[in-house]
Every structure is written in structure tokens, then in C-alpha cells.
Structure 1
Amino acid sequence: MNVTRLTVAGLHASAAELADLLAAVVADGASVGFLAPLDPGTALAWWRERADAVAAGRLAVWLARDAGGRVAGTVSLALADKPNSRHRAEVVKLMVRRDGRGRGLGRRLLGTAEEAAAAAGITLLHLDTESDSPAELLYRSADWERAGAIPDYAADPAGVLRPTTLYYKRVGTG
């Protein structure tokens, strides 16, 4: 599996494939901020809107391709822009296609984001995920600490309000 960090040009070039991945994981029930069915045009527009944040250095996006060259997964780091929070970043949109799950890709993408954060001087990562989702197993097994849960935080793809669990992890040497 080839994992690469996207430039703005790479994001534009891969936007349609990323949109397809986003629509596929939402259709599979992943709670990543969208309701099902996700219109392909909406998914494409969402990815294209990330270009300004990538260009400004506020967002880092990695893309994983399988042996056949198909986009199999992605993860992003949202970097803080306030002076008092530049030591932290949020892991966002960790997504793996259904047929790629259970093979270590999610862990590899998460590790890539963690390593890049530490290399950039970031010492604290955080994320949220739907409570009781399969993603929680990944985060716990990767030594992320549970900070707590918030009830009725976001609607799942079917529109049902679900709780979210907050996690954090210290990285680097700060």
C-alpha cells in the first residue's frame, strides 16, 4: 500500500477518487460528517474546498492507494492556527474502504499522521469518533486515551443522533 502526502495539485488531481471514497464510507455507515446517501457532487465539492487549507498549511492530507492504484484510504491532520494551540492537531477523516479494513491500513494511516505531527513539533493529537463504532477499537489498540463522551453529538449517516467519544494521544517529545 502506497501512502503519500498530497500537495494542493495532488488534492485536485485525486479529488474525484477521494469523493468516491467518502461516498462509499458514508454508504457503509461511517459517521464522518455526512448523511446518506451522499451525492457525489457534494462529496467532490467538499474535497475541493479543502485545497485552501492545504495550501495555507492548516491541513495535511494523506492518501493510500492499493496495489491496483485505487484510493483505499485517507487521513488528515487539521493543524491549529491560534498561537496558544500550535502544539496540537486534530486527526480528521480517517477513512478506509470496506474491502480494505482489517488489514492494517487504518493503523498505518493513523501512524503516518502521528509521525508527521511529531516531526512537525506537535505534541498532542485529538480526535472524536462515533461511540461504540469499530473505529474505537483501532484508537484504543493504538494507545489513544479516552477523554470522555458527549451524548447526541452528531447524526450518523441515517440521521440518528449518536454520542461521540473524544480521544487524545501525546506524541513527540514535548
Structure 2
Amino acid sequence: MSGFEAGFEAGYAVGRVTAEELHGVARELAALLVDTVHGGASLGFLAPLDHGAATAWWRALGPDLADGRLQLWTVRAEADGRLAGTVQLRPAATANGRHRGEVAKLMVHPADRGHRLAGRLLAALEERARELGLRLLVLDTETDSPAERMYEAAGWTRVGSVPDYATDPDGVPQPTTIFFKALVD
């Protein structure tokens, strides 16, 4: 266990999801996405988000998972196997960007917040990014959101914000903050 992971609370397990496993967990991932969007998180979806549409969205990621254009992790409560969170890594596909990847759709169920699960998911993602030869990660998140503070605490560097970049789940335009993290050994 690394020093970074030593601070994480026990009782949860992080694992990577394969393309073959995606179909079986898509409904759980959809429920997490629906709860998170309905809770006000800006993840590219508007409320109300239909569970069936969310399930179809997750299942449509199968080809990207199969060919490596996407990496996906979940974190589960060890006591009951309940899905507690997820995150995605999208390595850049362009020739001049193969050293970087984008972090997307980091979600932790409201009932599981406060257990440093976002940090555990990011640690797993960063480890895999290094294995893939990635040296730079980027992401965006709603400005002044709790996620913004979490990324700063996890060592991410704020680049700046873009006004009215995306709408919140209610359709109201909000500013978005761009972050990066250099992966150094």
C-alpha cells in the first residue's frame, strides 16, 4: 500500500471494469449517475435523467472499453458489494497527445461521501495512467463545486475557468474550471 493509499478508509474496494463486465454493472452505474445528477452534479446530463437512458449511455461505452479508448473503475462497499463510486480515464487518441488523458465522470454516491473514495478512485486511475505511459491528466469541473476543492486537495493544478461552459442539471449555464496534473515518478 502506498503512502497515499494509507490514509484511505478501509471497507471499500476499487476495481477496474472490463468491457465484458460493463453490461452486468450498467444498471448500477446508471442508478449512481441518476442520483448524482439529481443531486445537482454537472456531469453532462440534465435533470430529470431517466434510468433507462442512463443505462443505455453506460452500455454504449462497451466498444470504447474493449479497444482501450476508455478505462473505467468502480469502488464498492466491501460489506455488501454496493456500488459507491466510479471514474473514467480517456487516453488521448491524437498522435501529438498520446502522453495525456482526460479524467471524466468521477462520482461518489452521497451516502458514501466523506470516506476519501474520490481519492482512491483517482489513485487507481493515476496508477493505470502511468502504466499506459501517460504523463499528463486533464479534467474540468463546475466552478465553486465541492469537486473543485477535492481536486485541489488531491494535488491538481487549476488552469482557469471558462464562463458559461456547461449547464448544470437544471439547464442553467455555469462556469467550468480546468485542472491538470503532471504524473511524475
Aligned match for 2:36, one of 17, 21, 25: 25
User: Is the aligned partner of 1:98 residue 2:110?
Assistant: yes
1:124 is aligned to 136
CA-based RMSD of the aligned residues comes to 0.8
Deviation at 1:2, TM superposition (A): 1.2
Q: Distance in 2 between matches of 1:92 and 1:110?
A: 11
Residues in 1 aligned to 2:154 and 2:75: alpha-carbon distance in whole angstroms: 19
Is the counterpart of residue 75 in structure 1 residue 87 in structure 2? yes
Give the Cα separation in 1 of the matches to 2:48 and 2:71.
Answer: 27
Q: 2:5 is matched with which residue?
A: none
Match of 2:64 among 50, 53, 57: 53
Quote the Cα distance in structure 2 between the aligned partners of 1:27 and 1:37.
7
Q: State the shift of 1:109 in Å.
A: 0.6
Q: 3-state SS of the aligned residue for 2:181?
A: strand
Q: Is the 8 A contact 1:121 1:172 kept in 2?
A: no
List structure 1 segments (4+ residues) > 2 angstroms apart after TM superposition. Answer: none
- SS of residue paired to 1:41: helix
1:115: which partner in 2? 127
Q: How many residues align structurally?
A: 173
C-alpha distance in 1, partners of 2:86/2:101?
16
Give the match's secondary structure for 1:136.
helix
The TM-score, its normalising length taken from structure 2, stands at 0.91
> Who is 2:13 aligned against?
2
Q: Deviations over 1:69-115 (max 9, x none)?
A: 11110000011111110000000000000011111001111111111
* Matched residue, 1:171: 183
Q: Is the 8 A contact 1:18 1:44 kept in 2?
A: yes
Q: Which residue of 2 aligns with 1:133?
A: 145
1:82, 1:11 → 2: CA distance? 26
Is there any run of 5+ residues in structure 1 with no aligned partner, and where?
none
